[in-house]
Amino acid sequence: LQARLDGVKPAERLALQQAAVIGFVFWDQALAAIDAQATDALPGVAQRSLVVPRQEASFDGVREYAFNHQILHHVTYDTVLKRVRRGYHAAAAEWLASLSGARANDFLGLAAEHFEKAGNADRACEFYTRAAEHARDRFAHEAALGFVARALALMGESEGEGVAADAGTAAAAAAAAAADARPAADGKATPLAETADRSRLRWRLLDARERTLGLQGRRTEQRADIAVLEALAEVLADDSLRFEAAWRRCDIALRMADYVAMEAIARQALALAERAADRPLVLRAQQRLAIAIGELGDWAAGKALAEQGLAEARSLGLRRIESLFLNVLSVAAGLQDDLELSLRIDRQKVLIDRELGNPLNEAITLGNMGETWLQLGDYLRARRDLEEGLRLTRGVGDRAMECVPLLNLTQLELRHGDAPLALAYAQAALTIAIEVQNPEAEARAQCASGHAELALGRHAAAAMAFERAYAVAVEADTETQLDSTAGLARLALAQGDVAVAMQAVERLLAHESGGGTLEGTEGPRLIRLACHQVLERAGDVRAADVLATAHAELQALADAISDGALRQSFLNDIPEHRAIGAAWAAHKVPE
């Protein structure tokens, strides 16, 4: 290869060297930006098969070439004198930085590399930041993290800054950031604009990384980055940035089902947004507060807050925030057993998600719709939306949200009698729930595994899963403790141990007699059915009352469904509903 390079004309050799600085793939206009005469040599080196013209270029109006071999590219690059490389890299960087059009953003990282090799750290940091933001928006997680690390390294910060931090991170970061504004040793103060620009660039970098870490469920690292963001917001004395940092903490609380913390942080964010006099921020905080209030048991108040926010978002034309409030109202409708209303709201929402090109929110909406179809017994449409939601969720790399369609697909496969596949879905959800530190999802996944193991006749494994679900649910104070208790009752009944089954049922009955409800449980009718079946097997007179309550609730829900076909699927295609109906028909006393 070296001999072939030595054999070309001097002008061709120079053009090859300049092209090698651009990269293994290069463009005629980029080459011309380095040397206007260099493109004249391209036909000759192409004829010698040193470079190969490509049929399709990455940009309109340019010709794209590639070196014939990676080794040829490296050998040629190594022949460029170090003292002239920087100038070539600088010219290539400026050409890439000037690009516009649909694909220009895909080359921000390459522009940053050229600026870095040209010795222009400031421009390199700016372009690495833009590249990280672009990668974040495309859900290219590893690329985003890589660009952030490169920029922070150029800024004199270690790749892991903010990652392995403890509770003192915020104070340490604030001190470090404030140091930028202190007078230098010679007594001359650093210009304020320069310090603010540096802090805002760091904000943008950590903002991109925190969002990416959040989707990956890397909570420890995510929290550390938020601590630094909070410190930077204080240094910049910016209420909008203070709000954003609070919003991120609120989002972690939501994804970890810590609704008490979520409410407190949402109220802090709301106060910051109001102080900043920014209505879109106020509405975002209000949406999070509505969810927290609802999840803590007051869905009437949460719904009212969401309805008011929805009206304002629509009046201001804030489509993304409109979608967020629709999500609250859909969840509220579902939890209040108005499944048709939940579907109508989600159908509105998914159109907005698609209009905005937001696959992250579209995946969540499809998952919610699939769950509602499942609750109605329409398994064809449930499978369609759940599988598409799972595909989109995996496509954007949202690990925490992946649990939702997986858990619903578990239930779907159990109803179809495919217990092995149901167990596979449940175990996948469990792995993710533990990874992203969501105890609510972990409890649900353990309980779902218990149901699958029970269906497979593996009683020891089922017992272990139900018991683990119960322990996690009690620790997290979630309703899954009732679902898992009912699972243990069903398991004991399957084993013929009526006494143990009765112990579980007594706990469930005591819960209700003490003023508790089954609201928020995964399978309220399955819980009622389990209680009835155990009581009936034990010859307990309360069996009839439990059955009457289960049937009355079931019939009331069915009567509220206006669509006749859905009403029938709700009554006949959901196993526990069908069993309650059959038991009622066998037990009711003729008039």
Which residue, among 452, 451, 363, has the nearest Cα to 399 in the 3D structure? 363
Pick from 409, 490, 493, 410: nearest CA to 449: 410
- pLDDT at position 164 is 37
C-alpha to C-alpha distance for 92 and 33, rounded to whole angstroms: 7
Give dist(CA 230, CA 212) in Å, integer: 17
pLDDT at position 180: 46
Residue 422 · residue 410 · CB < 8 Å: yes
Distance CA 519, CA 335 (A): 7
DSSP sequence for 426-465? HHHHHHHHHHTT-HHHHHHHHHHHHHHHHHTT-HHHHHHH
Type of residue numbered 200: R
Whether residue 252 contacts residue 289, with contact meaning beta carbons closer than 8 Å, is answered with no
pLDDT of residue 159: 43
HEC secondary structure over 183-224: ECCCCCECCHHHHHHHHHHHHHHHHHHHHHHHHHCCHHHHHH
Full pLDDT tens readout for the chain, 591 residues = 777 777 788 899 999 999 999 999 999 999 999 999 999 999 999 988 899 998 887 887 899 999 999 999 999 999 999 889 999 999 999 999 999 877 889 999 999 999 999 999 999 999 999 999 999 999 999 999 999 999 999 998 644 444 333 334 444 444 454 444 333 444 443 344 457 888 999 999 999 999 999 999 999 999 999 999 999 999 999 999 999 999 999 999 998 889 999 999 999 999 999 999 999 999 999 999 999 999 998 999 999 999 999 999 999 999 999 999 999 999 999 888 899 999 999 999 999 999 999 999 999 999 999 999 999 999 999 999 999 999 999 999 999 899 999 999 999 999 999 999 999 999 999 999 999 999 999 999 999 999 999 999 999 999 999 999 999 999 999 999 999 999 999 999 999 999 999 999 999 999 999 999 998 899 999 999 999 999 999 999 999 999 999 999 999 999 999 999 999 999 999 999 999 999 999 986 554
Paired residues of 53 in beta bridges: 65
**Count of alpha carbons within 13 angstroms of residue 51, beta-carbon side:** 30
67 — phi, psi (to 5°)?
Answer: -65, 150
- Tell me the per-residue pLDDT of 445-482, one tens digit each, with 9 for 90 and over: 999 999 999 999 999 999 999 999 999 999 999 999 99
Do the beta carbons of residue 310 and residue 326 sit within 8 Å?
yes
pLDDT score, position 513: 92
Residue 194 pLDDT: 52
Phi, psi of 367 (to 5 degrees): -60, -40
What SS3 class is residue 341?
Answer: helix
Q: Please identify which residue in the block is written with the tokens 């109220």.
A: 267
- Asked if 303 and 329 touch (Cβ cutoff 8 Å), the reply is yes
**Residue 538: alpha-carbon gap to chain centroid:** 47
Nearest to 28 by CA among 49, 5, 7, 59: 59
User: pLDDT tens-digit profile of 121-166?
Assistant: 999 999 999 999 999 999 999 999 999 999 999 998 644 444 333 3
d(C-alpha 96, C-alpha 108), whole Å:
7
User: In a 3-state reduction of DSSP, which class is residue 25?
Assistant: strand
Q: Which residue has the tokens 């996944």?
A: 445
Angle at 377 between CA 373 and CA 382, to 5 degrees: 35
Q: What is the pTM of this model?
A: 0.85
What residues form DSSP beta bridges with 27?
64
Q: How far apart are CA 382 and CA 346, in angstroms?
A: 14
Residues near 524 by beta carbon (within 8 Å), at least 6 away in sequence:
518, 553
Helices (H) and strands (E) in the chain, counts: 30, 3
CA separation for the pair 134, 431 (Å, rounded): 30
Q: What letter would DSSP give residue 188?
A: P
* Rounded (10°) CA dihedral 317, 323, 325, 327: 170
Q: What is the dihedral of CA 210, 215, 221, 227, to 10 degrees?
A: 40
Q: How far apart are the first and last CA of the chain?
A: 100
Residues in the chain, overall count:
591
Position 217: which residue type?
G
How far does CA 555 lie from the centroid of its chain?
Answer: 37
